[in-house]
Amino acid sequence: MNTGFEIQPYVGVGPLKFGMTQEEVAKKLGKPDSIRDQGDEIRESRAGHDLQVVYAKNGGGIVEMGFGSGIRSLHYDGIYVFEEKPLDVLTHITASGSKIYELLGFLVLLDMGITFTAFHNLDDDGEDDDNGEKAVTVFKSGRWDNFRDRLSEYKI
């Protein structure tokens, strides 16, 4: 399960691409550990819940992928997001000018389709203070659009 997972904004992560069906994902990663019906969506969990794949029931395939800190091979542009210091990750990923927004504890990069959870939980010395609870979600274009008016800009 710990194969390379490269984030490709609004395309997918590693072998997983937005729009893929449950059957296509199973061919790439094997059967899920659990499947939950969530109304308009279906959520599959793998790797002890460190890898979550969310599908639209309307036939739209994958709409979101979530990664817990157990997926050490998650990376973007050469930086492994669970291996580096959170501030270094955010600084690297936003170096091209992406803005970070915050809502309900999520750091959201709308122009890249990525959220970070617990990447801004730092102690007074700037060290990671999250006790391993970091997570990253990669989402399909438009998924956060309903929240745009509630987002506030976050400064690193």
Domain ranges in the chain are: 5-154
Q: What is the pTM of this model?
A: 0.90
pLDDT at 127: 57
For residues 2 and 145, which has the higher predicted lDDT (pLDDT)?
145
Check whether 1 has a pLDDT greater than 50: no
pLDDT at 2: 44
Contact 108, 100 (CB under 8 A): yes
Contact 68, 117 (CB under 8 A): no
pLDDT in tens, 115-146: 999 888 655 555 555 556 899 999 999 999 99
Contact 6, 14 (CB under 8 A): yes
H or E element that contains 3:
none
Rounded to whole angstroms, the Cα distance separating 86 from 94 reads: 12
Rounded to whole angstroms, the Cα distance separating 9 from 36 reads: 26
